[in-house]
Amino acid sequence: MKKISSYLLICFTLVACQAKKKNQPQQEKSTIGVISSNGSVVTAHPLASQIGVDILKSGGNAFDAAVAVQFALAVSYPRAGNIGGGGFAVFRNSNGDTGSLDFREKAPLAATKDMYLDKDGEVIKGLSLKGSLAVGVPGSVDGMVELHQKYGNLPWEELVQPAVNLAENGVILTKFEADKLNTFQENFKEVNNTSIYLNNEKGWIKGDTLYHQNLASTLKRIRDKGRAGFYSGATAQLLLKTLKKHDGIITQGDLDHYHSVWREAIEVPYKNYKIISMPPPSSGGIALAQLMEGSENYDLKNSGYNTAETIHIMTELERRVYADRATFLGDPDYVEIPQEMLLSKDYLRNRNSSILPGKATPSAEIKEGKVDIIESTETTHFSIVDKKGNAVSITTTLNGNYGSKLLVEGAGFLLNNEMDDFSIKPGHPNQFGLVGNEANAIEAEKRMLSSMTPTIVEKDHQLFMVVGTPGGSTIITSVYQTILNVIEHGMTMQEAVNAKKFHHQWLPDQVLIEKGAIDNGTRNKLKEMGYTLKDVKSLGKMEAILILPDGTMEGAADYTRGDDTAFGY
Ligand code: DON
């Protein structure tokens, strides 16, 4: 305890000094996260963070806590937490071993390349986003079973039970949750052809209790039967019945075939750090690695946080990386990805040699295309470190807010709309404005390309940071900035999480600027360089943990952008 308070004193002094440095962000509230010695859990919802830390306290490791948190978020944070979706885990064990688990959804066996096109080859609006045809075969439950079987300590039942309790006892809605549910009331009715338990004629308000009775029964089946509690038996029957009623194409064969995949993590050095992130079918790891490697050739520390010069360099790197993403990346089980080339220093040096000081390169000169961003979305990330130093970084999603909005009748859970992450027609933008080609075309049982970037950073071969965020296409650039904010701009973990962000993704050719990220002088300089700027309310919703020099942990939740909470002990 004494150690912690003296640390805090040093930190506050440090923070006060840092505030005087060039271009440090102004923080209204806390500039330091939650300091703990034995474990840290950072999630998008306080109930899930509490459950995670309780599991650590009762002798569970980071993997046990991750499983409990995944199920707890499925109840407390239904817009993104899920059992009807998928995700990715990146981990680093206390002995330094690293790896990843891919529990991304898959295209159904009956899926075809042109399934979202009409007879003239035009995209049928909304078909890949809402209702039964938008649904990929869910991976989350299989993923949690795999993670627990390989690395868990505590009995499975003990990890699912807290979510059962939440579902049965009800969850008191926060303002964020009530507002979000209200936004989608009509969508729920339209997609399900009826009101569902998430509808409330009077509208939800903060303090209302939302009971999840059917979900509780489903979670009990998962608790008692593991994988079989979801992919066969009563849950599978209810899932298939709902999909059939809504003309879906997923069958029992799809559920039987679904298996998550252990994959080697993407690992690249950055100075005396190592970036460990998610390989394909996420584009996140390769793109982040390209950005970090590209950044090594510039003195971003000296050019400063969110200055015109820094934003210019980072934007130009992003533009080129996202163009590569659209062309080369897809499910590695289906397409050949030139991973080694994309990450090689020679390739990157050559690729980035066209970056000119003080001048934007138009995206049309990098590659052609025209796109727009359509819908608001949600995903969720959580970061966990246990007493021994095992670290787990998980990003999980239904894709859009509440996914396809289709609820499994009698089973109480929502199904994802992950099929929209495929390139449903070459060059046609998905809901994030991302374009793609053959590499990410739909095929039976293929996984759709993702941007999710659960990441772990080592410093001098030791665990240093666990980080990730939702945000669709903006995930990669938010993780990139957050890492640099700590490493190059000397921020605490909390400052880096709170810091205002920007984003460029090649197409559309514009820089998204989070409200408050830059002043007018910087804005004008960027415009003079040739950039089109677009202001957005919010970018990133980071959940991160930093290991401090004395071995304690700083858990930093994105509390300025949501209900996100860090707990430690
Ligand atoms: O896998 C992907 O990249 C997307 N389905 C993630 C969606 C997302 O982050 C939405 N969140 N804000």
Mean pLDDT of the chain: 93
Please tell me the predicted confidence (pLDDT) of residue 561: 95
Is residue 382 one of the residues assigned to a domain?
no
> Which residue of 331, 382, 432, 435 sits with most ligand 1 atoms within 8 Å of its CB, as the best mutation to test the pocket?
432
Q: What is the DSSP string of 360-417?
A: PPPHHHH----------EEEEEEEEE-TT--EEEEEEEEEETTTT--B-TTT--BPP-
Residue nearest to atom 11 of ligand 1 (CA): 378
pLDDT bin (cut points 50, 70, 90) of residue 5 is: very low
Q: Which amino acid is at 396?
A: T
pLDDT bin (cut points 50, 70, 90) of residue 145 is: very high
Q: Are 562 and 21 in contact (CB under 8 A)?
A: no
Q: Rounded to an integer, what distance in angstroms lies between the CA atom of residue 93 and that of residue 100?
A: 11
Within 40-92, where are the H helices? Answer: 46-57, 62-76
What percentage of residues in the chain have a pLDDT greater than 90?
A: 89
Is residue 569 one of the residues assigned to a domain?
no
What percentage of residues in the chain have a pLDDT greater than 70?
A: 93
Q: What is the CATH number of the domain that holds 370?
A: 3.60.20.40
Residues with CB under 6 A from ligand 1: 377-379, 397, 399, 418, 421, 450-452, 470-472, 475
Question: pLDDT at residue 6 above 60?
Answer: no
Q: Are 328 and 337 in contact (CB under 8 A)?
A: yes
- For residue 347, report the distance from its CA to the centre of ligand 1, in Å: 28
Q: Are 504 and 315 in contact (CB under 8 A)?
A: yes
How many other CB atoms are found less than 10 A from the CB of residue 38?
Answer: 15
Q: Is the dihedral of CA 271, 331, 447, 327 positive or negative?
A: positive
Q: Rounded to an integer, what distance in angstroms lies between the CA atom of residue 78 and that of residue 563?
A: 13
Residue nearest to atom 10 of ligand 1 (CA): 378
Q: Is 538 found in the same domain as 412? A: no
175-186 confidence digits (pLDDT tens) = 999 999 999 999
Reduced DSSP (H G I as helix, E B as strand, rest coil) percent helix, strand, coil of the chain, to 5? 40, 20, 45
Count of domains forming the chain: 2
Is residue 466 one of the residues assigned to a domain?
yes
Is residue 213 one of the residues assigned to a domain?
yes
Is residue 445 one of the residues assigned to a domain?
no
Q: Is 348 found in the same domain as 272? A: yes
Give the three-state DSSP class for 551. Answer: coil
Is residue 218 one of the residues assigned to a domain?
yes
Q: Nearest CA to 546 among 383, 305, 396?
A: 383
Q: Which amino acid is at 271?
A: K
Q: Is 215 found in the same domain as 293? A: no
Tell me which residues are annotated as active site: 379
Peptide bond between residue 508 and the one before it cis (omega within 30 degrees of 0) = yes
Q: Are 124 and 396 in contact (CB under 8 A)?
A: no
Residue nearest to atom 8 of ligand 1 (CA): 472
346-405 confidence digits (pLDDT tens) = 999 999 999 999 999 998 888 533 233 434 557 999 999 999 999 999 999 999 999 999
User: Which two three-digit tokens encode residue 565?
Assistant: 């909470």
Q: Is 403 found in the same domain as 345? A: no
78-113 confidence digits (pLDDT tens) = 999 999 999 999 999 999 999 999 999 999 999 999
| Residue where a domain terminates, one of 398, 431, 464 | 431
- For residue 524, report the distance from its CA to the centre of ligand 1, in Å: 32
User: Which two three-digit tokens encode residue 556?
Assistant: 């930093």
User: Which two three-digit tokens encode residue 59?
Assistant: 């002798």
How confident is the model over 193-209, as a mean pLDDT? 98
| Residue where a domain terminates, one of 396, 431, 466 | 431
Question: pLDDT at residue 210 above 80?
Answer: yes
Please tell me the predicted confidence (pLDDT) of residue 436: 81
Describe the crossing of helices 62-76 and 46-57 by its angle, rounded to 10 degrees.
Answer: 150
- For residue 374, report the distance from its CA to the centre of ligand 1, in Å: 13
Q: Nearest CA to 54 among 168, 157, 158?
A: 158
User: Which two three-digit tokens encode residue 251?
Assistant: 């069958």
| 111, β-bridge pairs | none
Q: Nearest CA to 375 among 445, 433, 436?
A: 433
Is residue 556 one of the residues assigned to a domain?
yes
More confident residue, 411 or 431: 411
pLDDT bin (cut points 50, 70, 90) of residue 432 is: confident
Q: Is 458 found in the same domain as 532? A: yes
How confident is the model over 329-341, as a mean pLDDT? 94
Q: Rounded to an integer, what distance in angstroms lies between the CA atom of residue 233 and that of residue 436?
A: 37
| Residue where a domain terminates, one of 431, 465, 497 | 431
Q: Rounded to an integer, what distance in angstroms lies between the CA atom of residue 421 and that of residue 398?
A: 11
Q: Is 229 found in the same domain as 125? A: yes
Q: Is 548 found in the same domain as 513? A: yes
Is residue 148 one of the residues assigned to a domain?
yes
Please tell me the predicted confidence (pLDDT) of residue 377: 55
Q: Is 352 found in the same domain as 307? A: yes
Q: Is 241 found in the same domain as 271? A: no
- For residue 472, report the distance from its CA to the centre of ligand 1, in Å: 4
469-489 confidence digits (pLDDT tens) = 999 999 999 999 999 999 999
Instruction: Identify the domain containing residue 137 by its residue range.
Output: 2-18+27-258+387-431
User: Which two three-digit tokens encode residue 78?
Assistant: 């239904």
**Cα of 361 vs its chain's centroid, Å:** 29
Q: Is 417 found in the same domain as 480? A: no
Q: Is 276 found in the same domain as 398? A: no
Q: Is 196 found in the same domain as 94? A: yes
| 475, β-bridge pairs | none
Q: Rounded to an integer, what distance in angstroms lies between the CA atom of residue 55 and that of residue 1?
A: 22
